[in-house]
Amino acid sequence: MKRKDQIIPKITGIEKEKVMLLKNNMKSESFFHYLAETFKAMSDPTRAKIIYSLCLENELCVQDIAAVIGTSSSAISHQLRTLRNMKLVKYNKVGKLAFYSLDDIHINNLFAEGLRHVEEK
Amino acid sequence: MKRKDQIIPKITGIEKEKVMLLKNNMKSESFFHYLAETFKAMSDPTRAKIIYSLCLENELCVQDIAAVIGTSSSAISHQLRTLRNMKLVKYNKVGKLAFYSLDDIHINNLFAEGLRHVEEK
DNA sequence: TGAACATTTGAACAGATGTTCACATAAAGG
DNA sequence: CCTTTATGTGAACATCTGTTCAAATGTTCA
């Protein structure tokens, strides 16, 4: 009987049960890809400023966002496309103006949680 | 008296009050930089998998994370350093093993909100 | 001490990213 | 129609990122 193994188990990093459990509960590759993309959409200072602005004022047009942030309309338009592609913002075109707003309440929650984290650090 | 301006205001994108209000409520450059960095830390599929694993099992060593995710220990170690630098994970060294865990409850909340967003889309 | 193991690290590479610039639409007003 | 204004887009650029590979560090155990 291998008594030693019971009393003094070999120290090894491999914890098979944990690994098995996690592997069985792992989400799909595409799930993590999409999740990462969502965070990535918020991971640029310019885009963070855009989202922050849309949290305070729930509808803004491109040039106003550009004015608030202090950069070109072109740069903002490029970034808004990224946010649009990731379904973080939606927009409403009135004549030549495009009014952007956050796509749904989850975006507010997610961003607010990020704000809270940074403010409390 | 410029009656026309009162009844039919010129359609223009510039809404000075909104812009002024937002500019006055804008956070600092470094705030947005740090906020963006926090989101960026979660914006890679490998790192998202690491954080997800640490949400389910609150302490894991490098090789077990590597086993769960299916990549090299070296790659995981590099990513853990990124997460460590951003204060998203902390670690506890026991002999030759390094047990990693999420740094605080805010990380759980933030990540969980992201999960919820993706699951409901 | 020497062998095996866990983790860290640096260099190097391909691939991705954000801005700028110039130009393209597209709508409004004269 | 022509000009002005608001936004969108593509190419080009420098910069950044994530992985791999090789090697170093540090720990355990025989």
H, E, C per residue of chain B: CCHHHHHCCCCCCCCHHHHHHHHHCCCCHHHHHHHHHHHHHCCCHHHHHHHHHHHHCCCEEHHHHHHHHCCCHHHHHHHHHHHHHCCCEEEEEECCEEEEEECCHHHHHHHHHHHHHHHCC
Average pLDDT for residues A25-46, to the nearest whole number?
Answer: 95
Question: Which nt sits closest to B93, CA to C1'?
Answer: C7
Residues 6+ positions from B101 with CB-CB distance below 8 Å: B54, B58, B59, B60, B89, B90, B91, B92
Closest residue in chain B to residue A52, using alpha carbons only: B26
Phi/psi at B82 (nearest 5 deg)? -55, -50
Determine what percent of chain A is predicted with pLDDT higher than 90: 78
- Exposed e or buried b for every residue in A69-98, given b needs 16+ CB within 10 A? beeebeebeebbebbeebebbebeeeeeeb
At residue A2, the pLDDT reads 32
Amino acid at B39: F
Q: Which of B47, B72, B61, B68 is nearest to B96 (CA)?
A: B61
Does the model's pTM come out above 0.85? yes
What are the DSSP E strand ranges found in A1-121? 60-61, 89-94, 97-102
Interhelix angle B105-119/A29-41, rounded to 10 degrees, is: 110
Interhelix angle B62-69/A16-24, rounded to 10 degrees, is: 30
At residue A19, the pLDDT reads 93
Interface residue of B22, B97, B109 to substitute, partner A, most A CBs within 10 Å: B22
Residue A19 pairs in a beta bridge with none
With 50 as the cut, is the pLDDT of residue A12 above it? yes
Q: State the count of interchain CB pairs (< 8 A) between A and B.
A: 151
Grade residue A20 by pLDDT with cuts at 50, 70 and 90. very high
Inter-chain contact B21–A113, Cβ cutoff 8 Å? Answer: no
Average pLDDT for residues A88-93, to the nearest whole number?
Answer: 95
At residue B5, the pLDDT reads 33
Amino acid at A105: I
At residue A14, the pLDDT reads 67
Collect all residues of chain B within an 8 Å Cβ-Cβ radius of residue A118: 31, 34-35, 38
Low-confidence ranges of chain B (pLDDT < 50): 1-11
